[in-house]
């Protein structure tokens, strides 16, 4: 260990998790194979392919279903000691609520066993935006019946795989289905209905707590958490109106899921806003007690960009559908650093600010960076003489974020690991393969051929040394 510390400028704690994150729909492919049932993405593509970039849908994606053995070997070669994937609810239980698919059991058992055989810790997420179509037809997260079906699905997963999987997550980014399905129209069924959004959000939190309750009761000896995309809200100025606008944005997008997940209670200010606007959800007797008593033991944090906010410049139309932006406007900070392909600001210190907030306000709960990454278009422009993509921009992106993660650890934050998005280029919801994020490239024109990028080779060194050098230091 001493030798490694001498070789690096930023050394991370022993046992640090180095790896990547993925999701079933974005990576598995085989959408109509192995007795898998349809999910909302399969259906939406079938009915409205024009919604998808270049009309590329989820049927094939990156073919992990057929290539998992060679892909897991490649994970080992690029330095993974951990890997987060999701189970497809509609693959395991094709109707969402009923008989379990034996072919799916075999597939996920094989994946888990293969990871373990390569000394890669499996992190399993139960829900990553892929609601079974049968469950969506019952109302999706608006429906109490779907909550109960999800809990039964979670229990089956614990029973089937809990002897080997020691890190579980109930949801990835639960605010995103709320935004996409009920506010901004980028997930099926693309509604604009804040009342349904609130009910769906409450049910997601309730479903998470109920799954945690069952997991704890089963006494399987692992940890169960949730993965939240936390976006720090920065006010334009310290003027009270700007500060209040940033607080409202943080309340609606971050604390709405963070507080009940970690503290077991909803923020008082959020309850007041929801009530005053007339959107109080249906809450049954005992629901709040279940949420209170079943908080997470591990928090995954996805960080990509900051949110910059100012007070409203103009009054909102009172007759328009209610949206969170009723309380604030976005603004573009002068001189901001951008990823021009994704249209997102790059602000590395935001990851530190989030972690310090977790330390100061959320019991310094054990946490890890569950996603961090940079999507770039047309990466084939950067192919080097050896045939691999020379993505120095991605290496720099990781380094600059990791410096702030390291600083947070030095200041006592319980950060246990760093997972990038993602292992290999994958299909990305409505954007298909427009932006590439992987440590490994996937050539769609050449039978989905995998090639390790420069960032993948660097990541192997990062993991081997448990840290990295910084020539600018």
**Cα-flanking dihedrals φ and ψ of residue 353, to 5°?**
-60, -40
Looking at residue 60, its pLDDT comes to 85
For 129-170, write each residue's pLDDT tens digit. Answer: 999 999 999 999 999 999 999 999 999 999 999 999 999 999
Confidence check: pLDDT of 203 > 60: yes
* Reported pTM: 0.97
Contact status, residue 247 vs residue 324, Cβ threshold 8 Å: no
What is the average per-residue pLDDT within 85-91? 98
Task: Give dist(CA 274, CA 161) in Å, integer.
Answer: 39
d(CA 60, CA 146): 27
pLDDT in tens, 271-311: 999 999 999 999 999 999 999 999 999 999 999 999 999 99
> Catalytic site residues?
173, 371
- Distances in Å between the Cα of 202 and the Cα atoms of 39, 280, 281, 283 are 22, 10, 7, 8
- In degrees, rounded to 5, the angle at the alpha carbon of residue 372 between the alpha carbons of residues 30 and 125 is 45
Query: What percent of the chain has a predicted confidence (pLDDT) above 70?
Result: 98
Is residue 393's pLDDT more than 60? Answer: yes
pLDDT digits (tens, 9 = 90+) for 92-101: 999 999 999 9
Question: Across-strand partners of 122?
Answer: 83
Tell me the CA distances in angstroms from 44 to 24, 48, 98, one per residue in order.
Answer: 17, 6, 23
As a whole number, the mean pLDDT across the chain is 96
* Among candidate residues 229, 435, 431, 241, the one with its CA nearest the CA of residue 331: 241
pLDDT of residue 387: 87
Hey, what are 267's tokens? 């923020």
The per-residue pLDDT for range 311-361, each reduced to its tens digit, is 999 989 999 999 999 999 999 999 999 999 989 999 999 999 999 999 999
Where do the domains of the chain lie, and which CATH numbers do they carry? 9-373+400-422 (3.20.20.80)
- Asked whether residue 471 carries a pLDDT value surpassing 80, the answer given is no
Residue-level pLDDT at 472: 64
472 CB neighbour count, 10 Å cutoff: 7
pLDDT tens string 431-464 = 999 999 999 999 999 999 999 999 999 999 999 9
């Amino acid at each position: 260990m001493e030798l490694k510390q001498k070789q690096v400028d930023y050394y991370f704690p022993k046992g640090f998790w180095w790896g990547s994150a993925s999701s079933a729909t974005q990576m598995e492919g085989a959408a109509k194979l192995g007795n898998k049932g349809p999910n909302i993405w399969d259906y939406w593509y079938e009915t409205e392919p024009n919604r998808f970039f270049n009309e590329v849908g989820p049927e094939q994606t990156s073919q992990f279903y057929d290539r998992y053995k060679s892909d897991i070997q490649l994970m080992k070669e690029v330095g993974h000691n951990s890997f987060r994937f999701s189970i497809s609810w509609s693959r395991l239980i094709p109707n969402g609520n009923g008989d379990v698919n034996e072919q799916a059991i075999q597939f996920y058992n094989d994946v888990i066993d293969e990871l373990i055989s390569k000394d890669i810790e499996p992190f399993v997420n139960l829900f990553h935006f892929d609601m079974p179509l049968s469950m969506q037809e019952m109302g999706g997260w608006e429906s109490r019946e779907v909550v109960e079906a999800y809990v039964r699905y979670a229990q089956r997963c614990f029973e089937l795989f809990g002897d080997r999987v020691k890190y579980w997550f109930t949801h990835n980014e639960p605010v995103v289905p709320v935004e996409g399905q009920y506010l901004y129209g980028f997930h099926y069924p693309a509604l604009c209905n804040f009342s349904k959004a609130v009910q769906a959000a409450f049910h997601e939190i309730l479903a998470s707590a109920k799954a945690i309750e069952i997991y704890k009761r089963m006494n399987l000896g692992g940890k169960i958490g949730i993965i939240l995309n936390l976006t720090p809200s920065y006010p334009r100025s310290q003027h009270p109106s700007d500060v209040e606008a940033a607080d409202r944005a943080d309340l609606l997008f971050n604390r709405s899921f963070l507080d009940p997940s970690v503290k077991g209670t909803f923020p008082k200010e959020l309850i007041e806003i929801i009530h005053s606007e007339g959107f109080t959800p249906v809450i049954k007797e005992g629901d709040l007690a279940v949420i209170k008593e079943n908080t997470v033991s591990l928090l995954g944090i996805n960080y990509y960009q900051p949110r910059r906010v100012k007070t409203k410049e103009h009054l909102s139309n009172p007759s328009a559908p209610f949206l969170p932006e009723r309380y604030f406007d976005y603004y573009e900070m002068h001189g901001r650093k951008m990823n021009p392909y994704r249209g997102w600001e790059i602000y590395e210190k935001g990851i530190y600010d989030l972690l310090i907030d977790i330390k100061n306000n959320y019991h310094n709960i054990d946490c890890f960076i569950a996603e961090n990454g940079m999507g770039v278009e047309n990466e084939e422009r950067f192919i080097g003489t050896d045939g691999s993509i020379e993505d120095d921009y991605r290496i720099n992106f990781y380094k600059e974020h990791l410096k702030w993660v390291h600083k947070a650890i030095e200041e006592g934050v319980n950060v246990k690991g760093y997972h990038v998005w993602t292992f290999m280029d994958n299909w990305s919801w409505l954007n298909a393969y427009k932006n590439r994020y992987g440590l490994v490239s996937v050539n769609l024109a050449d039978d989905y051929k995998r090639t390790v990028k420069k960032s993948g080779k660097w990541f192997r060194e990062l993991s081997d040394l448990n840290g990295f050098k910084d020539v600018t230091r």
